[in-house]
Amino acid sequence: MTTFASQDPQFALPAPAQPGQALSQVDTPSLLLDLAAFERNLDRMQGRADAAGVKLRPHAKAHKTPDIALAQVARGAVGVCCQKVSEALPFVRAGIADIHISNEIATPAKAALLAALARRASMSVCVDDARQVAMLEDACRAADARLTVFVEIDVGQGRCGVKNAESALRLAEAIAGSSHLRFGGLQAYHGGAQHRRTREERRVAAARAAESAAQTVVRLDAAGIACATVTGGGTGSVEFDLASGVYTEIQPGSYVFMDGDYGRNEWDAASRFEHSLFIASTVMSVASGTRAVLDAGLKSMAVDSGLPTIWQPSPQALRYVAANDEHGIVEATDGTALPGLGAQVLLVPGHCDPTLNLYDEIVGFRDGRVECLWPVAARGLSR
Amino acid sequence: MTTFASQDPQFALPAPAQPGQALSQVDTPSLLLDLAAFERNLDRMQGRADAAGVKLRPHAKAHKTPDIALAQVARGAVGVCCQKVSEALPFVRAGIADIHISNEIATPAKAALLAALARRASMSVCVDDARQVAMLEDACRAADARLTVFVEIDVGQGRCGVKNAESALRLAEAIAGSSHLRFGGLQAYHGGAQHRRTREERRVAAARAAESAAQTVVRLDAAGIACATVTGGGTGSVEFDLASGVYTEIQPGSYVFMDGDYGRNEWDAASRFEHSLFIASTVMSVASGTRAVLDAGLKSMAVDSGLPTIWQPSPQALRYVAANDEHGIVEATDGTALPGLGAQVLLVPGHCDPTLNLYDEIVGFRDGRVECLWPVAARGLSR
């Protein structure tokens, strides 16, 4: 069979936008970033961390975008977190010099890749089992690499992490006794605390997490092992994490974009970040007469935290009511006119992290015009 | 800031697997394809279409993989469907000569890309509004391209498509009167009918859809416009679509892999396709003592149709109970031992289409060994 590629190697998909274009000209579905709101979010979080004297290490799993990591580091972030070893690779390539893998790994292949990264940047990772310590030591010895290792403690999430201070101590001793590993301290992250709706619920969960971490620090200290760093916390609990006196470093990610789901939480004024990330979609059918069909569905957004909300036009009167693979159904909640065929509709995704993971680029805009295209270079890197 | 890429341009992420490797060596999370089950699924659907004298045009939105499209065409498929214009591009490049966009488009940029594709392959698309016809004619005139256009009729889905035969007739006349467009016939697809749990529910919905399509064919015929093709149907309703006497072409997609959600339906023996697609994951933490934490979460699977089920080991006794971004929580439903740290766990995704859209390659295996890596070349192409 003839392949057309060989006949016409130049034939490729056009970029979704060009700098200077009006926002209405962006091809859809596309991911839009309001650069002014994004920059205010970055400044606000860095300012809060600086004021508290706590290091900011933003979570790059939220954006997977080296251009954003560089903007965070330029404002004072000490580096970034990644959730997977492979996810770190494009950030190392982009020159981010200090990356924490805020997670455990359990296979020699992943340990070998991490050791290879550790020869190119300052890398750290978490453990919650002595077998992980041995595996990391073996990989680093083979690669002649040095790696910082954190003990993860379970502070309420019920996911990864050792259950008590004695287990943490044994692991810290194993790390300290490994010639290619350095004990970095504790990771104490309570993901479930981030998404509770009221401030009081989040305050209580964050306080318990911090107390549990503090007790473990004391136990290790009594055994002569210093926790140089206690890392954890997130966008939902940052006001409490910063004030805890326990965390020396915070790991928020979502503040950059502010998910639809997070946006429905109750916030204090200083912690309410702005929605900066939107999905641009287009009305592709109005034949029913009673609804508008958008070209953005399950392949253009994650719906695990609910369907997107409408940002423009008519956020009060229009509702995105159903998502199929490549279709979104919009209805009007009162007598408001539906957007017409070909109209652009902007959506706020319910959960930004897995939505980002669907796109190859972010279209940055300011004052209604496209300013930049940033590659989502770590998209799909979950290994 | 120094970029490491320039220091070491060879430093790249290793492939998740190499041909010849044992399945247990595949890096995770990865998408695995049981090639023997996959080939039986392809043979079975082609055999059923051939026996009914109906053309098979599989939906490529399910797999987004040119290697799979080529395997379908090699067995007798007349071409493939795509759901978006951009999605078709890698299939045109791979030499698929006949592609139907089973959807409407509504912007001049998309029409221009479609016209460019129509100079390289036989392309068709759907309309449900006269403005779409005019836009397509303009784009094809500008590109000196010829395009086949189908009128989509709403046969129960309540999404896109005209509502009655008179509207279909007016659009067919507009297409037939456009110098660069050819009227191809009708698209009559009822997505909602595919996923009803009982055969009887699907039979009733499919019969209504076919009856509605038949009435429209008669109306157009009376006006002197022949519907050369009536295209539609899917994996869930294929037994009824093939027997309807109305559809000349069917568009099933999911039969290739068989989703977890589809698998929970009631089927006749001939229509029960096999699960061929799995997510390989690894246990990364067992510190809790009561659950195993997998390295595959929301970024490794779509959960819109439910969480994945466990395929290996212990499908009866283990349950995947919660997904975070990069973690999956597994519990044992009775006294069964949890899989150990580093163990590989295979999952059946609830919804294959959007799960495929997260991966860059499919790892094909046979008899427990890796045989091939196929690029998911249309991943992310939703524009």
Q: Which residue has the higher pLDDT, A158 or B264?
A: A158
Residue A2 domain-assigned (yes or no): no
Domain end position, chosen among B260, B284, B305: B260
Q: Is A129 on the interface with B (CB under 8 A)?
A: yes
Q: Is B161 on the interface with A (CB under 8 A)?
A: yes
Q: Is A15 on the interface with B (CB under 8 A)?
A: no
Residue A370: strand pairing partners? A365
Query: What pLDDT was estimated at residue A2?
Result: 39
Q: Is A379 on the interface with B (CB under 8 A)?
A: yes
Residue A184 domain-assigned (yes or no): yes
One domain, residues A172 and A201: yes
Residue B266 domain-assigned (yes or no): no
Query: What pLDDT was estimated at residue A7?
Result: 54
Question: Which of A1, A299, A341 is the closest to B357 by Cβ?
Answer: A299
Is the C-alpha dihedral spanning A201, A207, A210, A212 positive or negative? negative
Neighbours of A317 (CB within 10 A): 15
Shortest Cα distance from A114 to chain B (angstroms)? 11
Least confident of A173-182, A363-372, B34-43, B183-192: B183-192
Query: What pLDDT was estimated at residue B228?
Result: 97
Asked if B14 and A109 come within 8 Å (Cβ–Cβ), the reply is: yes
Residue A266 domain-assigned (yes or no): no
3-state helix, strand, coil in chain A (%, to 5): 35, 25, 40
One domain, residues A217 and A97: yes
The CATH number of the domain holding residue B98 is 3.20.20.10
Question: Which of A2, A13, A298 is the closest to B302 by Cβ?
Answer: A298
Type of residue at A71: A
Q: Is A321 on the interface with B (CB under 8 A)?
A: no
Dump pLDDT digits (tens) for A225-278.
999 999 999 999 999 999 999 999 999 999 999 987 777 788 877 778 999 999
DSSP per-residue letters across A282-308: EEEE-TTSS-EEES--TTTS--TT---
Query: What pLDDT was estimated at residue B9?
Result: 56
One domain, residues B162 and B55: yes
Contact indicator for B17, B25 with CB cutoff of 8 Å: yes
One domain, residues B60 and B24: no
User: Which residues of chain A make contact with B129, given a CB cutoff of 8 A?
Assistant: 285-287, 341
Q: Does pLDDT of A60 surpass 70? A: yes
One domain, residues A120 and A28: no
The CATH number of the domain holding residue A317 is 2.40.37.20
One domain, residues B40 and B28: no
Find, among B270, B226, B229, the residue nearest to B247 by Cα.
B229
Domain end position, chosen among B260, B281, B299: B260
Asked if A380 and B383 come within 8 Å (Cβ–Cβ), the reply is: no
One domain, residues B205 and B283: no
Residue pairs spanning A and B at CB distance below 8 A: 237
Query: What pLDDT was estimated at residue B3?
Result: 42
> Can you give the residue range of the structural domain that contains A119?
35-256
Find, among B353, B379, B375, the residue nearest to B94 by Cα.
B375
Domain end position, chosen among A198, A221, A256: A256
Type of residue at A145: A
Least confident of A240-249, B110-119, B263-272: B263-272
* Best mutation target, B119, B159, B187, to test chain A (most A CBs within 10 A): B159
Residue A261 domain-assigned (yes or no): no
Shortest Cα distance from B253 to chain A (angstroms)? 12
Type of residue at A120: R
Asked if A298 and B284 come within 8 Å (Cβ–Cβ), the reply is: no
Dump pLDDT digits (tens) for A102-134.
999 999 999 999 999 999 999 999 999 999 999
Per-residue burial over B40-63, b if 16 or more Cβ lie within 10 Å, else e, is: ebbebbbebbeebebbbbbbbbbb
Find, among B150, B133, B135, B94, the residue nearest to B117 by Cα.
B94
Closest-CA residue of A relative to B171 is A287
Q: Which backbone phi and psi does B129 adopt, to 5 degrees?
A: -155, 140
One domain, residues B159 and B303: no
End-to-end CA distance of chain B: 35
Residue A195 domain-assigned (yes or no): yes
d(C-alpha B268, C-alpha A373), whole Å: 50
d(C-alpha B6, C-alpha B114), whole Å: 38
One domain, residues B188 and B248: yes
Average pLDDT over residues A178-191: 96
Question: CA geometry: angle at B306 spanning B301 and B307, to 5°?
Answer: 55
* Best mutation target, A299, A301, A327, A338, to test chain B (most B CBs within 10 A): A299
Residue B138 domain-assigned (yes or no): yes
Q: Is A190 on the interface with B (CB under 8 A)?
A: no
DSSP per-residue letters across A97-149: -EEEE-S---SHHHHHHHHHHHTTSEEEEEESSHHHHHHHHHHHHHHT--EEE
Contact indicator for A29, A300 with CB cutoff of 8 Å: yes
Banded model confidence at residue B4, pLDDT cuts 50, 70, 90? very low
Residue A148 domain-assigned (yes or no): yes
**Count of domains forming chain B:** 2
One domain, residues B225 and B314: no
d(C-alpha B118, C-alpha B89), whole Å: 11
Type of residue at A182: R
One domain, residues A328 and A201: no
One domain, residues B209 and B242: yes
User: Which residues of chain B make contact with A16, given a CB cutoff of 8 A?
Assistant: 383
Q: Please state, rounded to an integer, the average pLDDT across all residues of chain A.
A: 94
Residue A187: strand pairing partners? A152, A231
Q: Is B9 on the interface with A (CB under 8 A)?
A: no
Closest-CA residue of A relative to B92 is A4
